[in-house]
Structure 1
Amino acid sequence: MMQLHWKKTFALIFSGQIFSILTSSMVQFAIIWQLTETTGSAAVLMLAGLAGFLPQALLGPFVGVWLDRWNRKVTMILADSAIALFSLVLGIYFFLGDPGLGFVYLILGLRSAASAFHAPAFQAAIPLIAPEEELTRVAGWQQMVFSFSNVIGPALGIAVYSATSLGVVLLLDVAGAVIANVMLSLVKIHQPKPQAVQTPSFLKEFKLGWDAFIQVKPIVLLTGATVIFGIAFMPLATLFPFMTLSHFGRGGYSASIVEAAFGIGMILGGIMLSVLSSKWKDITYVSLSLLVIGLTCAVSGLMSKEAFVLFVILSFIMGGASPFFNGPYMAMVQRSFEPEILGRVISLMTSVMLLSSPIGLLLAGPIVDRYGVQQWFLGSGVVVMLTGLFVFILFRRMESRQTGEI
């Protein structure tokens, strides 16, 4: 009965969240497309990206203190409602007339700030619902939901935008948040008691979270590996279309096939992770994922201009391997910390991961301009493979020491 209860709870949560994540993905792509159509400026797109990214990255280390104080279910509902409210305001503005770029940047920034509360609260709530031994399986479900939404979202977003207007897409985001909040209100999430401090204060509670994080050496190691992975791999999200265009000499249709292959791979990878979650240790999945992702990147960097079909196949494999890194990594984090401090730890780690992406982009730009996009695929693939090998060897040594001590 207990097994059925927690699965039913997640079925309700994920069935609502898929609407919220899907419509948010639609909005994100539709706004970028609208700015591309109306301005044709790379600088405008860069500023829009920063507005939608930096607030979440900068707020992340600090919001965890509040997340561990507040009710996580209520926090998720309020954060999703705030995101929907900002979408509603921008949608109304578009119906009345075209808002200035400054106002669009402001709304993107406010949505990002609200997201800084929603995502970590969701991750910190998962161990309060699922049994510890099922966290990797739940991570597989979550990866599947996110992958499906991120694959379908842009296509639906551009379809609705083309058939109607950006205002309609923004109103659909409001509807998605309402559905998610209704489904979330139907479940019960136990709220852990806040960790006691002699004199409750923001700085002391923040320091407690930081101290708890650095004491768990395996998680510190994995977070460092995640930073290296983010610097090397995340720029590829923007370089896949460039690779299709500049190296293979193909157009937008071919670029969309590559994106679809990667996305479908992620969906199937999430399903596989949920099925195979208990077969191997989490660190084995993480290491193999890095090795497979790195190998497919490196091979992509060595291909001839006639090997586009092989590039599509490698993109599919690369996407399929991704959930085996993200899911087990988060499950390990959720197992390693007490629920009353988990919000702080996850917020801190999320910000570290988010901030690694712009570092990678700053490095990738000049290298790709000078040496070509293939060199970044090859170089990043080698770095990711070495990271996976390093993580696997180091964890094996740590396990051997623990066994020797026993």
Structure 2
Amino acid sequence: MLGKNLKKTEPNHEKENYSLRGYLFFWVGQLFSLIGTLVSGFAITWWVTDITESAMLLAIGSFLFLIFIVLFTPIAGVVCDRYNRKLIIFMADTFNALIMGVIIIFFYVGLTEPLLIIIINGLRGIGQAFHQPTVNAIIPSMVPKKNLSRINGVNYLLTSLIQVVGPMIGGLMYAFFPFEFILWVDILTYGFALVPLILVHIPQVISEQNKSLVLTPKKSFIKEFKIGIKTIRLIPGLLTILLLSMLLNFLFQPLNILAPLYVKVDHMGDENDLALLMACVNGGMILGGVITTIKKKWIHKVTVYFGGLIIIMASALVYAFAPIGWLLIASIIGAFSFMFLPIVNTIYVTILQTTVPKDKMGRITSVDQTLSYAIMPIGALVSGMLGDFFGTRLLFLILGLIGTFTVILVWQFSGIKKYDYNDEKFINQITENIKNGST
């Protein structure tokens, strides 16, 4: 009766169940889980680097993780729009914890072949493929629209803070604790994350169209994925940004994958130097997250977005020219560049969340991640080959130049700079086009 009365008194308003406090409680649990993931991931990465000094093995590890994300993310997006999102997150987190448990057992019984550990650890990409789109999809259903930009900024801020602390903890633990003990941190933090996940109510947003999809399991996943692609094409400028992201993700793979080798070989550093490099870069991301949290509205979204990308890609040039012994200085300069990463991400995610209907957010998020990640496995393998052929310094120089000039050319000739995502009429027209074109 109460529900019926509310419906009568507010006939012109969409009934929504926002739970901002619940979302923040849930996200705290996810941050605890992220700490364990970063600590164990750092330990495994440095262990492989320290034992093998092989760019190719590091590349293979990244390739396996990314290829599973690319293969399963399209399915994951459709699944999180059809079924219980809380259950999906639980299953994804549990799967990754079980994989880490297998790795721990392997070390206890003496199965410590680096390639074997890399292959098993790569399976965690399957869990990540289901976890990330689902977590992203629940945000608009739990956070009021007016708070989306700020909450996205807080997310990047807290995530960046954890990404500073995680590797530092991993570096310290690697120096003082047995390797197997470090991996147990991932299992422990998984347990912490379960508590808010179980207690918090996560709304399930299912439109009439999605209800029919639930009742007709023979509906093609490919067909639903195409709905997501069609929706993206109805948002002016979004496809251009996605294609640019694919290229930049490809170019950025060597920076991510070969960073341990860059520290150990080019600068003759150890695990603490790698942790320091990662801490400086993520420290810049924290500052960027603070800026996105404080700033309520970006007047020139597209201009700031492309300007930030140029600065980020130019950071590769800093690492290319940094002489031996200047790793700290290069890291500080890199921190300034990566300060713009949460800014450009917040702008992009806010555009996405304010133009896409909630019941299609899972599919759009999965398409977004699939297209962005699609080229990354190739980039991972190429990183290993190019890293061995050119060396990290020359490779960073080449990729930095290519990335910087590519962003400038897209900005100048694609026509994207004419779109104003702060114009309410423009946003409303996009929303109407999506409703009419994807039903």
- TM-score, normalised to structure 2, is 0.78
Unaligned runs of 5+ in 2: 1-17, 430-439
Query: How far is the alpha carbon of 1:116 from its aligned partner?
Result: 0.6
Q: Cα gap change, 1:66/1:33 in structure 2, threshold over 3 Å: closer, same or farther?
A: same
Amino acid at match of 2:133: P
Aligned CA distance change for structure 1 residues 76 and 24 (closer, same or farther; 3 Å): same
1:271 maps to which residue? 290
Task: Give the aligned residue type for 2:369.
Answer: T
User: How many Å separate the matches in 1 of 2:63 and 2:379?
Assistant: 14
Q: CA deviation at 1:337?
A: 1.7
Give the aligned partner of residue 222 of structure 1: 241
Once the two structures are superposed, what CA deviation does each residue of 1:112-157 show, in whole Å capped at 9, x if it has no partner?
1111100110001111111223222122112122222222222222
Structure 2 counterpart of 1:148: 161
Displacement of 1:375: 3.5
- Between the aligned partners of 1:295 and 1:48, the Cα distance in structure 2 is 26
Q: CA deviation at 1:281?
A: 5.0
Letter of the 2:232 partner, please give it.
F
**Match of residue 374 from structure 2:** 355
Q: Does 1:378 align with 2:397?
A: no
Matched, 1:132 2:145: yes
Q: Provide the C-alpha distance between the structure 1 equivalents of 2:322 and 2:315, rounded to a whole number of angstroms.
A: 11
The percent of aligned pairs where both chains have the same amino acid is: 25
Distance 2:225 2:269 in 1: 49
Cα offset for 1:379? 3.3
SS in 1 for 2:158: helix
**Does 1:186 find its partner at 2:199?**
yes
Aligned residues of 2:283 and 2:335 also touching (Cα < 8 A): yes
Q: CA 1:308/1:163 → structure 2, altered by over 3 Å: closer, same or farther?
A: closer
User: Which deviates more, 122-131 or 275-284?
Assistant: 275-284
Query: Would the alpha carbon gap of residues 16 and 384 (structure 1) be closer, same or farther in structure 2, given more than 3 Å must change?
Result: same
Q: Aligned equivalents of 1:303 and 1:111: distance in 2?
A: 34
* CA distances 1:308-330 after superposition (whole Å, capped 9, x unpaired): 67634421111111111122212
Measured at CA, do residues 277 and 289 of structure 1 come closer, stay the same or move farther in structure 2, by a change above 3 Å? Answer: farther
Distance 1:152 1:183 in 2: 22
Shift of residue 338 of structure 1? 1.7
Q: Please report how far the alpha carbon of residue 255 of structure 1 lies from its aligned counterpart in structure 2 after TM superposition.
A: 5.8
Contact 2:320 / 2:394 at 8 angstroms: preserved in 1?
no
Greater shift after overlay, 362-371 or 62-71?
362-371
| Number of equivalent positions | 397
Distance 1:105 1:243, change over 3 A: closer
Change in 2 beyond 3 A, CA 1:46/1:310: closer
Query: In the aligned structure 1, how far is the partner of 2:22 from the partner of 2:85?
Result: 15
Q: Distance in 2 between matches of 1:190 and 1:25?
A: 29
Say which SS state the counterpart of residue 204 (structure 2) adopts: coil
* Aligned counterpart in structure 1 of residue 309 of structure 2, from 278, 283, 290: 290
Give TM-score scaled by structure 1 length: 0.84
Give the structure 2 partner of residue 80 of structure 1. Answer: 93
Q: Take 2:261 and 2:120, find their aligned partners in 1: how far apart are those partners?
A: 29
Distance, in Å, in 2 between the alignment partners of 1:255 and 1:169 is 17
What is the match of residue 361 of structure 2? 342
Whether 2:107 is the aligned partner of 1:94: answer yes
- Consecutive unaligned residues of structure 1, counting only runs of 5 or more, are none
Q: Describe the shift of the 1:97–1:363 C-alpha distance in structure 2 as closer, same or farther (beyond 3 A).
A: closer
CA distance in 1, matches of 2:381, 2:104: 33
